Amino acid sequence: MQAENHPESDIEKVLGMDELTRGTRVKRWISIMLVVIVLIIVTAVIVRKNSTDKSNGQQFKTQEVTRGNLEVTVTATGTLQPTKTVQVGSELSGIIESVSVDYNDSVKTGQILAKIDTSKLEAQVTQTKAALESAEAKVKQAQATVTETRSKLEQLQTAQKLSGNKIPSQAEIDAAKASFERAKADEASARASVSQARATLQANETDLSKAIIRAPINGIILSRDVDPGQTVAASFQTPELFVIAQDLTQMELQVDVDEADVGQVKKGQSATFTVDAYPDRTFQAQTTQVRYNSKTVSGVVTYTTVLKVNNPDLALRPGMTATAIITVGKVENAVLVPNSAFRFTPPVQETKKQSSNNGGLMNAIMPHPPRENSSNGQKNENGDRVKKTLYILKDGKPVAVSVKVGMTNGTLTEVLDGEIKPGTPVCCF
The per-residue pLDDT for 73 is 93
What would you report as the CA-atom Rg of the chain, rounded to the nearest whole angstrom? Answer: 51
44 CB-contact burial (10 Å; exposed 0-12 / middle 13-18 / buried 19+): middle
Rounded Cα distance, 64 and 67, in Å: 10
The per-residue pLDDT for 353 is 41
| Length of the chain counted residue by residue | 429
Which of 226, 225, 300, 219 is CA-nearest to residue 257? Answer: 300
Return the SS3 of 383: coil
CATH number of the domain at 85-116+212-246, out of 3.40.50.300, 2.50.20.10, 2.40.50.100, 1.10.150.120?
2.40.50.100
Question: Residue 168, preceding bond cis, omega within 30 degrees?
Answer: yes
Angle between helices 17-56 and 7-15 (to 10 degrees): 70
Dihedral sign from CA coordinates of 173, 175, 177, 180: negative
The per-residue pLDDT for 58 is 53
Q: How many CB atoms lie within 10 A of CB 362?
A: 11
pLDDT per 10-residue tile (average), the chain, 429 residues: 47 49 70 82 70 55 90 94 92 91 93 93 93 94 93 89 84 91 94 94 91 93 92 80 92 95 94 95 96 93 96 94 95 91 77 44 47 41 67 85 89 88 85
Contacts of 111 (CB under 8 A, 6+ apart): 100, 101, 214, 215
* Structural element, H or E, at residue 173: helix 170-210
Rounded Cα distance, 70 and 68, in Å: 7
The per-residue pLDDT for 69 is 92
* Domain 55-68+335-427 class in CATH: mainly beta
Rounded Cα distance, 12 and 20, in Å: 10
Per the CB < 8 A criterion, the answer to whether 211 and 95 are in contact is no
Q: How far is CA 248 from the centre of its chain?
A: 21
Per the CB < 8 A criterion, the answer to whether 253 and 306 are in contact is yes
Task: Break the chain into its structural domains and give their ranges.
Answer: 7-51, 55-68+335-427, 74-83+247-331, 85-116+212-246, 118-210
One-letter amino acid for residue 260 of the chain: A
* Structural element, H or E, at residue 127: helix 119-162
Which of 290, 287, 325 is CA-nearest to residue 309? Answer: 287
Per the CB < 8 A criterion, the answer to whether 114 and 99 are in contact is yes
The per-residue pLDDT for 149 is 93
The per-residue pLDDT for 169 is 85
The per-residue pLDDT for 10 is 53
Per-residue burial over 95-119, b if 16 or more Cβ lie within 10 Å, else e, is ebeebebeeebebeeeeebbbbbbe
* Residue 109 backbone dihedrals phi, psi, to 5 degrees: -60, 130
* Structural element, H or E, at residue 328: strand 321-338
The per-residue pLDDT for 22 is 59
Return the SS3 of 106: strand
**Which fold is adopted by the domain 74-83+247-331?**
Elongation Factor Tu (Ef-tu); domain 3 (2.40.30)
Per the CB < 8 A criterion, the answer to whether 233 and 287 are in contact is no
Rounded Cα distance, 219 and 395, in Å: 73
The per-residue pLDDT for 349 is 56
Q: Could you tell me the pTM of the whole model?
A: 0.62
